[in-house]
Amino acid sequence: MIVEAAALIVYRRRTGRGVPVPAVASFLGAGIAFVLALRLSAAGAPRDGTAASAFAGVMLVALALHFWHLRHLWHR
């Protein structure tokens, strides 16, 4: 995901075309947060109180990034 983000950002800066950098950050940031939440879930996070809080926090970050991404889509 980091390589994808870097490639999209470099392409945008060199050509002036492609996905705007904030849209890349919000979309891939949400994806990274979901991957982290999946990793926490696979490790048994929702069963442990402290880890469950970390899982919930990561899911809230993903939600916030999705809202940020939607804002970019609607303000084109």
Dump pLDDT digits (tens) for 20-72.
888 888 889 999 999 998 888 887 655 667 777 888 899 999 999 999 988 87
The pTM is what? 0.74
- Domain presence at residue 43: yes
pLDDT tens digits for 8-19? Answer: 999 999 999 988
The residue count for the chain: 76
Number of domains the chain is built from? 1
- Domain presence at residue 2: no
- Domain presence at residue 7: no
Long-range contacts of 46-51 (CB under 8 A, 24+ apart): none
Question: Environment class of residue 41 by beta-carbon count within 10 Å: exposed (0-12), middle (13-18) or buried (19+)?
Answer: middle
CA separation for the pair 37, 48 (Å, rounded): 14
Range of the domain at 68: 21-74
Q: How far is CA 74 from CA 19, 23, 38, 46, 68, in A?
A: 14, 11, 28, 34, 10
- Domain presence at residue 16: no
